[in-house]
Chain A
Amino acid sequence: QKEVEQNSGPLSVPEGAIASLNCTYSDRVSQSFFWYRQYSGKSPELIMSIYSNGDKEDGRFTAQLNKASQYVSLLIRDSQPSDSATYLCAVNRYNTDKLIFGTGTRLQVFP
């Protein structure tokens, strides 16, 4: 079992829709969770971090964390073609500085 799992996609949504990206992790004691966006040929860019159960909203982005289910998700409201990218879920291994990344979900937003 991979430490961090994501559906590779592509996830295709129409412009204006809500895109829902999901991630599961295996280490029950993980405490910190991150979503990175990576455009093709570019570096990962941090867009959300979440540390406690529940929802965290930032503009059009909402991160959701459920530690009991070992599940973290990212919702993108009012999706735009410029949101088309690969979204990487990252989980901090407990008591270390190590981030474990999923393989990413490719999102395509079509006009």
Chain B
Amino acid sequence: DTAVSQTPKYLVTQMGNDKSIKCEQNLGHDTMYWYKQDSKKFLKIMFSYNNKELIINETVPNRFSPKSPDKAHLNLHINSLELGDSAVYFCASSPPGVQEQFFGPGTRLTVL
């Protein structure tokens, strides 16, 4: 299936831990994004990468670090997790020259 995929789907962890979420797209898109959707369902962009280069870096704590090993992958590493990091994190991608974005299934992160 051609799609944007994320792992894991669910992540439950303790405060202070470090965790990573992985994202892969096999659509041949150049640009990938990370979004956070909070408990009020507000969807906000965090980062975007275009062909492994960081393009958008919103006001996000530096505990969050994206990494793009190649243009098909964009991972998100979170250090020293806090309760407020609990949310659903969505990865998305878009083709070159097009602003339409296609979302992965999401990773529900719960910090206890």
Contacts and interface: CB of A to CB of B under 8 A. Distances in A.
Interface residues of A, number: 21
Interface residues of B, number: 22
User: SS class of chain A's interface: helix, strand, loop or mixed?
Assistant: strand
Contact of B44 (A34, A86, A97, A101): A101
Nearest to A44: B103
A97 B94 contact: yes
Given A97-B94, A98-B48, A45 B43 contact: no
Contacts of A34: 99-101
A43 B105 contact: yes
Contacts of B43: 44, 88, 101
Interface in B87-108: 90, 94, 99-106
Interface of A: 32, 34, 36, 38, 42-46, 49, 86, 88, 92, 96-101, 103-104
Interface of B: 31, 33, 40-45, 48, 50, 55-56, 90, 94, 99-106
